[in-house]
Amino acid sequence: MKSLIFSVLVLLTSTLYAQTGLKVGDKAPEFIAKNSEGKEINLKQLLKQNKSVVLFFYRGQWCPYCNKHIKDLQDSLSKLSEKGAYVLGVTPESNESIAKTKGKTNASFSLISDRDYKIMKAYKVDFVMEESLVSKYKTYGIDVAKNNGALNAVLPVPATYIIDKSGKIKFVQFDKDYKKRASIKDIAAKL
C-alpha cells in the first residue's frame, strides 16, 4: 500500500512541476563535467569521437525504475557501442550515491553528478520538489536533498536524448510518468 501511495505522489508531483524537455531537432546544449571517476566529460568532444551520444537523466539510486533502465542500458552497452554510441547518464545525486547506483546496476559507462543542476536545467528536465513532497519521500526513507549532497531537493524528469554528430537531438523520450523509459529497442533503432 505504501508503494502505491508513493507512486501516486511521485506521479502527481512530476506532472505538476516538471519541465517540458527539449525536442527532436533542437541543438543539444553543450556541457563539460566530471564523471563519478573524476574524468572530464565534454559533450562536444564526445560527438567528435562517436557517431552519437545517448544522454539520459535519472532520479537516483533509490529509484527502482532508474536502476532497471540503467541495468538495461548496461546489458545492451556493446550493442549500442557497436552502433557508434557513447552512453552517458546524469543525476543530481552525489558521487557517493552514484557509487551505490553502479553497485546495484554494474554500470560501466559514465555517470555525472549534476550537483548544480546546470545540465538538467539546460535540457529542461529539472523540477524542485515542494516541501510537503520532500517530507512524504522521507517517510519512505528517501532524503532527496541528502542523496544529492544539497540543501534543496531537485529531481529530473527521467528522459533520454540521442544527440547526433552535428549536435542535434534526433530522439527524445520525455515522459512525466517516471515509470516510462526509453526502450533499448527504440534507442537502437534511432542510432
> Distance (Å, rounded) from C-alpha 57 to C-alpha 17?
16
What's the length of the chain?
Answer: 191
**102: region left, alpha or beta (phi > 0 left; psi from -120 to 50 alpha):** alpha
- Determine whether 63 is an active site residue: no
Find the catalytic residue in 18, 66, 155, 191: 66
The answer to whether 121 and 20 have CB atoms below 8 angstroms apart is no
C-beta separation of 153 from 134 below 8 A: yes
68 burial class (0-12, 13-18, 19+ CB within 10 angstroms)?
middle
CA gap 163, 101 in Å, rounded: 24
Contacts (Cβ under 8 Å, ≥6 apart) of 129 = 13, 17, 137, 144, 153, 154, 155
Cell of 162: 540521442
Contacts of 10 by beta carbon, 8 Å cutoff, 6+ apart = 178
Catalytic residues: 66
